[in-house]
Chain A
């Protein structure tokens, strides 16, 4: 079952007289439960494509379907709901809110989902425990290491039990040991049936995926399939 269909999607940015075709006619199908790696040189449009798939941005043309539903034409409220319930983002820069504790950061998506306080607390503790931060819940981001911050970010991404995790260079700012811990979590999540899409420059990171696609100048130029996922 395909969970994401990207059909001939384009996204162009205009910088003065310069027109940058960040995503230039990409067609891509991602299967439910797949572990997909996106690679490519800097500026090739990986982040832009990921934002489009994650409903953070709208394509200039082409269609995107999430679980069979066309999201290109959804309004702000419905897009927000898709981001909230269906997708979990993990960023290179962690993007935790500095004034909130780890626990409160994890609760944030659940607040927007309208989850009652008690359930929210319980769930947040649960996911934080899952990523191994049981004893860091009341810490502010500044009191955490990079690896710990990224684990909080993953816990936040998981809070509303999404089907898809979109991670943009999640290990880019981490030392190799912390990076490995993050990759271990992704592999576990993948075994649990989540769809994982990771953008990376790192071949070792890429080695975890089932399929790797390569981008250049806004297009997909090649892909290699490591494990068949069609039957997974």
Chain B
């Protein structure tokens, strides 16, 4: 066996240029698989990090889109989510620990000469706890602020940097404008940078007490969404069904609202990402196939070229198995070496993509393992036919071959 390995290496290195060319297909294939999967994997990892950073066991409740209405949001009040629904959930769902209604809208925000369009979120103070929002300076608004409709605001880091390039945001008063309505809010806190959390970007948001903004800024009695938090992961599914029971008794139509738990969202993302990476991986796998055909081609040429050698080997005592093993080893070594080079190239490629695209990529050991095993499999699969052809050669005819 060792002799055969030595032999295989020797005959592969006998024709270096040809060997290298025949490996190119596999190298490209493997590198493409590694790069593609690393991008998919990296993206999915960063989404998951975001999702888990946002606090755990959250449940989003949003209005559904009624069928037949051209997908437009319904305008009849009895069909919409309201603050009262949030309060009902808080009171009636034993598995739910916190609930906040949320109003979300884009407004012009000004401080002296600086202004920017940004998202204003009107929420209960529990939101800080629920979503793991940490302060960089100042303080959160409290239940007391909520109760007395105090016009205070906690702002995201990017907003703070934009409106207050010199720092010192806390204590300043900003003006939020919506068409003809203007309201002044006093900044009492600045949040730490958090990155995008799910569907929100706290870095670019201004959070204000729900009561302060609901009638003046938003002027509507329905809310954008409701966020609830279950006591624990175990009771999260139960919390979902409790909320569902309450909302169904109100709407009598499950199309009018949507309840999505964080877990379900994670699952969906996972599924989507693995489907995506499977699809892209398959496309890259096709080039592996093409590479394999290249290997088969070169092995067939090799067998033909070495017909006489095969005859001699048989004359001195090689049986079919010996010949089969010899040529199979050669093709597997070819694809294995190509696979390893491909992994190297793929890792480089994935690093480069991460640098240029400034996205996260991740090459997991599993992917490397799979890529290398697939290379070996390609070597076996596409090497078997030429090797069988060699093994089956009639020794007399092989010896006659010129």
Q: Which residues of A contact B (CB under 8 A)?
A: 51, 54, 56-57, 76-77, 79-81, 83-85, 89, 91, 95-97, 99, 108-109, 111-113, 156, 160
Q: Do B316 and A109 touch (CB < 8 A)?
A: yes
Q: Are B316 and A156 in contact (CB under 8 A)?
A: yes
A54, A77, A85, A97: residue with the most chain B Cβ atoms closer than 10 Å: A97
Contacts of A57 in B (CB 8 A): 394-396
Q: Are A97 and B3 in contact (CB under 8 A)?
A: no
In the assembled complex, the Cα of A99 lies from the Cα of B3 at a distance in Å of: 14
Contact of B356 with A by CB under 8 A? no
Interface of A is mostly: helix
A99 touches B11 (CB 8 A): yes
Interface on chain B toward A: helix, strand, loop, or mixed SS?
A: helix
In angstroms, Cα B314 to Cα A76, docked, is: 10
Q: How far is the CA of A137 from the CA of B315 in the complex (A)?
A: 22
Asked if B258 is at the interface (CB within 8 A of a chain A CB), the reply is no
Given contacts A95-B312, A97-B309, A99-B11, contact A112 B317 (CB under 8 A): yes
A108–B3 Cα distance when bound, in Å, is 10
B residues lining the A interface (CB < 8 Å): 3, 10-11, 14, 308-309, 311-322, 394-396, 399
Can you identify 5 A-B contacts, CB atoms within 8 angstroms?
A56-B314, A79-B319, A80-B318, A83-B316, A84-B317
In the assembled complex, which residues on chain A have CB atoms less than 8 Å from the CB atom of B395? 56-57
User: Judging by beta carbons under 8 Å apart, are B316 and A108 in contact?
Assistant: yes
For residue B398, which residue of chain A has the nearest CB? Answer: A56
Tell me how far the C-beta of A46 lies from the nearest C-beta in chain B, rounded to whole angstroms.
Answer: 13
* Residue from B317, B319, B399 within 8 A of A95 (CB atoms): B399
Q: How far is the CB of B309 from chain A (nearest CB, A)?
A: 6
Residues of B within 8 A of A77 (CB): 319-321
Asked if residues B315 and A95 are in contact (CB atoms below 8 Å), the reply is: yes
Q: How far is the CA of A109 from the CA of B3 in the complex (A)?
A: 12
On chain A, the residues within 8 Å of B11 by CB distance are: 99
Contact between chains at B315 and A113 (CB < 8 Å):
no
Closest residue of chain B to A112, judged by CB?
A: B317
A173 to chain B, nearest CB (A): 15
**Least distance between A149 CB and chain B CB atoms (Å):** 13
Give the Cβ gap from B294 to chain A, nearest Cβ, in Å: 24
| Bound-complex Cα distance A83 to B316 (A) | 6
Contacts of A79 in B (CB 8 A): 319
What residues on B are CB-neighbors of A99 within 8 Å?
10-11, 14
Residues of A near B309 (CB, < 8 A) are 97
| Docked pose: A27 CA to B180 CA in angstroms | 119
Q: Is the beta-carbon distance between A83 and B314 smaller than 8 angstroms?
A: yes
Separation of A10 and B103 alpha carbons in the complex (Å):
99
- Which residue of chain A has the shortest Cβ distance to B311 in the bound complex? A95
Q: How far is the CA of A24 from the CA of B131 in the complex (A)?
A: 95
Cβ 8 A contact of B399, one of A56, A83, A160: A56
Cβ distance A117 to chain B, nearest Cβ, rounded Å: 8
Residue contact A83 to B321, C-beta cutoff 8 Å: no
Residues of A within 8 A of B394 (CB): 57
Q: Are A84 and B316 in contact (CB under 8 A)?
A: yes
B3, A111: Cβ atoms closer than 8 Å: yes
Kindly report which residue of chain B lies nearest to residue A109, judged by CB atoms: B316
Cα–Cα, bound, A76→B317 (Å): 10
Contact at B319–A80, with CB atoms within 8 Å? Answer: yes
| Chain A, Cβ-Cβ closest to B10 | A99
Residues in B whose Cβ lies below 8 Å from that of A51:
396
A97 to B3 Cα, complex, angstroms: 15
Q: Which of B312, B320, B321, B322 contacts A97 (CB 8 A)?
A: B312
Q: Is the CB of B3 within 8 A of A89?
A: no
Q: List, in ascending order, chain B residues with CB within 8 A of A156's CB.
A: 316
Tell me whether B317 and A80 are in contact (CB under 8 A).
yes
For residue B14, which residues in chain A have a CB less than 8 angstroms away from its CB?
99
Q: Which residue of A lies closest to B2 (CB)?
A: A117
- Chain B nearest CB from A4 CB (Å) reads 17
Cβ contacts under 8 Å, A85 to chain B: 317
Which residues from chain B contact A97 at a C-beta distance below 8 Å? Answer: 309, 312-313
Q: Contact at A95–B313, with CB atoms within 8 Å?
A: no
B396 contacts which chain A residues (CB < 8 A)?
51, 56-57
- Closest chain-A Cβ to B6's Cβ sits at a distance in Å of 10
B387 to chain A, nearest CB (A): 15
**Contact (Cβ within 8 A) B313 A83:** no
B202 CB, nearest partner CB in chain A, Å:
69
Residues of chain A with a CB closer than 8 A to B3's CB: 111
State A224–B312 Cα separation when bound (angstroms): 33
Task: Using known A-B contacts A57-B394, A97-B309, determine if residue A112 contacts B399 with beta carbons closer than 8 Å.
Answer: no
- Complex: how many Å from CA A51 to CA B316? 13
Judging by beta carbons under 8 Å apart, are A108 and B313 in contact?
yes
Distance in angstroms between the alpha carbons of A109 and B11 in the assembled complex: 18
The interface residues of chain A lying within 8 Å CB-to-CB of B317 are: 80-81, 83-85, 109, 112-113, 160
Residues of chain B within 8 A of A54, CB atoms compared: 315
Identify the closest chain A residue to B306 (Cβ): A97
State in angstroms the CA–CA spacing of A51 and B397 once bound together: 11
Shortest distance between the CB of A6 and any CB in chain B (Å): 16
Contacting residue for A80 out of B10, B308, B314, CB 8 A: B314
The answer for the CA separation of A56 and B396 in the assembled complex, in Å, is 6
Cα–Cα, bound, A160→B317 (Å): 10
Partner of A91, one of B10, B320, B322, B399: B399
Say how far A191's CB is from chain B's closest CB, in angstroms: 24
Q: Complex Cα distance A70/B14, Å? A: 41
CB distance from A185 to the nearest CB of B (A): 18
A-B pairs, 5 with minimum CB distance: A84-B317, A80-B319, A112-B317, A109-B316, A57-B396
